[in-house]
Structure 1
Amino acid sequence: MHIEGEERIPAPREIVWAALNDTETLRQCIPGCQSLEQSSPTELVATVRLKIGPVSATFNGEISLSNINPPESYTISGEGKGGIAGFGKGAADVFLVEEGPETVLRYSAQAQVGGKLAQLGSRLVESSSRKLAQQFFADFNAAVTAGSSSEGTG
């Protein structure tokens, strides 16, 4: 399954880049995230609780960053196991383009699921995945915007 999109964030690229690499910001924005810890400069460990259709599960996963080109782009990859619910894995290329005082965040992701999740049907899994991606980027935009506006007033 392939998901792509973009989010226009009213903040400078350096601030958006810093937020993309901030564990606490990511933890707050990842839908269903229960924990997110950095295990190395390019690796994170996460626990995420998700409900996709009738299947609800807690996924334990590992996330890694590669192709890091600050403050322009990176590739984020992850794999999570949800017990009998199955597994999910994927990778996303994230690009930041400065447009005046704003930053356009573009992403292109590939994802796979297996187990019970795969049995739900590709349409349900794909629409749920798109919703989760849109929710993450909307929450991320709000977090960056709130952080960016409070920095200038302090």
Structure 2
Amino acid sequence: MQMSDTREIKAPREVVWAAILDPEVLKQCVPGCTEMTGSPEDGFEATVVQKVGPVKATFKGQVVLSNRNEPESLTLSGEGKGGAAGFAKGSADVTLTAKGDELTELHYEVDAKVGGKLAQLGSRIIDGFAKKMADQFFTNLQDAVEGPTDPEEAPEAEGEAAEEGKKKGWFKRMVSS
């Protein structure tokens, strides 16, 4: 299955690039990721728990960053084995284009494959799940870098909303300090 999309992130290209290379950012961006260790140079080891249709599985695998052309483009490739559930693997070619000093256009092209019990679920379920995972990853990345859209939103929010406000933009605040 293949898909592509483009997003505009309100941050300099170098900040977005640094976020993609950061294991903490990647851990928070990958839906269902419970563990992420490693480095951009050597690759990352990840554990991801996901439910696809009626099949729930824990995938253990690697994420490798290749074709790095700092700060313009790279390829994120991952492969995970979920035991009896099967396997999932895919890659995303990511291109970052500066649109002024404080705006970055992020374009991605994803290619994903599954096998084992997961493949038996049918292409409609798998395609929908893969699209949802890719969208969620890049939405999480955008949230980690951009922060809340309304600067007054986070401090006055209560409970879960305040917690969400703290999470959004945490990477951009960290590298700007």
Where on the TM-score scale, by shorter chain, does this alignment land: which range?
over 0.9
Cα distance in 1, alignment partners of residues 136 and 96 from structure 2: 18
How much has 1:39 moved relative to structure 2?
5.5
Cα distance in 2, alignment partners of residues 56 and 62 from structure 1: 19
Aligned positions of 1:115-154 closer than 5 A: 115-145=116-146, 146=169, 147-148=171-172, 154=177
Letter in 2 for 1:148: K
- Among all aligned residue pairs of Structure 1 and Structure 2, give the percentage whose two residues are the same amino acid: 50
| Root-mean-square deviation (Å) | 1.4
Letter in 2 for 1:67: N
Contact 1:8 1:103 in 2 (8 A): yes
Cα distance in 1, alignment partners of residues 174 and 47 from structure 2: 29
Using structure 2 for the length normalisation, give the TM-score: 0.82
Letter in 1 for 2:105: V
Using structure 1 for the length normalisation, give the TM-score: 0.94
Aligned positions of 1:29-40 closer than 5 A: 29-38=29-38
Cα distance in 1, alignment partners of residues 39 and 139 from structure 2: 26
Equivalent position SS for 1:125: helix
Contact 1:42 1:64 in 2 (8 A): yes
Q: Which has the higher contact order (CA 8 A, sep 6+)?
A: 1
What's the counterpart of residue 95 of structure 1?
95
Cα distance in 2, alignment partners of residues 39 and 99 from structure 1: 28
Contact 1:39 1:45 in 2 (8 A): no
Larger Rg: 2
Task: Indicate how the Cα distance of structure 1 residues 49 and 123 shifts in structure 2: closer, same or farther if over 3 A, else same.
Answer: same
How much has 1:8 moved relative to structure 2?
1.0
- The structure richer in strand per residue is 1
Letter in 2 for 1:113: V
Cα distance in 1, alignment partners of residues 173 and 35 from structure 2: 26
Structure 2, unpaired ranges of 5+: 147-168
Task: Indicate how the Cα distance of structure 1 residues 55 and 5 shifts in structure 2: closer, same or farther if over 3 A, else same.
Answer: same
- Is 1:83 the counterpart of 2:107? The answer is no
Letter in 2 for 1:38: G
How much has 1:132 moved relative to structure 2?
1.1
Task: Indicate how the Cα distance of structure 1 residues 42 and 74 shifts in structure 2: closer, same or farther if over 3 A, else same.
Answer: farther
Letter in 1 for 2:77: S
Structure 1: which 4+ aligned runs deviate by more than 2 Å?
147-152
Cα distance in 1, alignment partners of residues 16 and 143 from structure 2: 11
Letter in 2 for 1:117: L
